[in-house]
Amino acid sequence: MKKHIPNLITMLNLLSGCIAVVLAVQNHLHLAAFFVFLGIFFDFFDGLAARVLKVQSELGLQLDSLADVVTSGVVPGIAMYQMLAMSQGGFVLGWEGTAASKEVVWVGEDIVPLALVGFLITLSSAYRLAKFNIDDDQKTSFKGLPTPANALFILSLPLILKYQDNLVINNWLMNPWVLLFITLLSTYMLNAPVRLFALKFKSWGFKGNGVRYTFLLLSLVMAATMKFLAIPLIIISYVILSVVDTQVLRK
C-alpha cells in the first residue's frame, strides 16, 4: 500500500494543475497562481515521500514529469498568454453567465497572435522535463532552471500586478516588450547550460552548504519585506548564487 502514497501525492499535484488551467483560462490568474503553488508543494513532497518510504520507481518518475508539464508548464504558458493579450489592449478569453440561465458566453475577440509567444514557456518546460528524465547528471544539481522555479517566477507576475499596488511596476509589467523579454528569457533559462544547486542537504553543517544557507536567509529577508515582488527576486538570486558558486568559488 505504501508504494502508492507518493503517486497519490503526485496526482494531487496534477489535480492542482488542472484546476489552475481552468482558472487561468478564465483569467483568474491570482487564483491560478495559488493552485500552482499548491501543486509545487505536492511536487516537493512526492519525491520526499518516495525516498523516506524507499519506494522510488520509474513509474513515479514519469508520472511526476507528466504532472509537472501541466502545473509548471501549461499554466505558466496560459498566464503569459493572458498577460500579453492584456498588454496589447485585447480582450481576454473567459466565461460569464448567470446562475439561473447557466449559459456559457465567450468574452472577447479572436486569439491575439502575439500573445501565443507565451506558449514557448510550455514547450520549453515539456522539453526540459523530458530531457531531465533521461539525464543522469542532474541528481545533486540542475542544468537549467527547474520548471517549478520557472512557474513560480511567471505566476508571481499577476500577483504583483494585483497586490503589490505599485503603479510603476504595474506599467512596467504590462509593457508587451518586457513580457516578451521575460518569455524569451524563461524559455532560454529552462534549458540553459547553467549548473544550478539543488536544495538537498547531505549534512546540516555550513561547510558544503554555504550557498544553500545564504540563499535561504536571503529568501526569508525578501519574503518578509517585499511581498509578492520577493518571488521573482528570489528566483533571480537563486540563479546568481548558483553561477557564483559553480563558476567562481569552486574554481
Cβ within 8 Å of residue 55, ≥6 positions away? 2, 3, 5, 6
DSSP code of 91?
P
pLDDT at 134 over 60: yes
pLDDT at 175 over 60: yes
Helix (H, G, I), strand (E, B) or coil at 204: coil
**pLDDT tens-digit map of 75-116:** 999 999 999 999 887 544 444 444 444 443 334 456 788 899
The number of angstroms, rounded, from the C-alpha of 69 to the middle of its chain's C-alpha atoms is 10
Same domain, 125 and 144: yes
The count of domains in the chain is 2
Q: Looking at residue 206, what is its pLDDT? A: 60
pTM of the model: 0.86
Q: Looking at residue 208, what is its pLDDT? A: 63
Final residue of a structural domain among 174, 193, 212: 193
Kindly report the number of other CB atoms within 10 A of residue 168's CB atom.
7
Output the nine-digit C-alpha cell for 248.
567562481
Kindly report the number of other CB atoms within 10 A of residue 97's CB atom.
10
Kindly report the number of other CB atoms within 10 A of residue 234's CB atom.
22
Distance CA 41, CA 12 (A): 10
CB 96 within 8 A of CB 105: yes
Same domain, 39 and 67: yes
Q: What is the mean pLDDT of the chain?
A: 85
Same domain, 38 and 148: yes
Distance CA 76, CA 81 (A): 8
Distance CA 130, CA 6 (A): 20
Output 37 or 134, whichever has higher pLDDT. Answer: 37
Same domain, 186 and 201: no
Same domain, 240 and 137: no
Which range of 54-63, 85-94, 121-130, 188-197 scores highest in mean pLDDT? It is: 121-130
Same domain, 131 and 36: yes
**pLDDT tens-digit map of 20-78:** 999 999 999 999 999 999 999 999 888 777 777 777 777 878 898 999 999 999 999 99
Q: What range does the domain containing 149 cover?
A: 2-97+104-193
Q: Which of 149, 157, 146 is nearest to 181 (CA)?
A: 157
Query: Residues 107-131: what's their mean pLDDT?
Result: 86
CB 157 within 8 A of CB 229: no
Output 99 or 118, whichever has higher pLDDT. Answer: 118
Q: Which of 171, 188, 154 is nearest to 73 (CA)?
A: 154
The number of angstroms, rounded, from the C-alpha of 96 to the middle of its chain's C-alpha atoms is 28
Final residue of a structural domain among 177, 193, 209: 193
Q: Looking at residue 133, what is its pLDDT? A: 83
Same domain, 201 and 185: no
Distance CA 215, CA 202 (A): 16
Output the nine-digit C-alpha cell for 92.
481576454
Query: Residues 221-237: what's their mean pLDDT?
Result: 94
Same domain, 109 and 8: yes
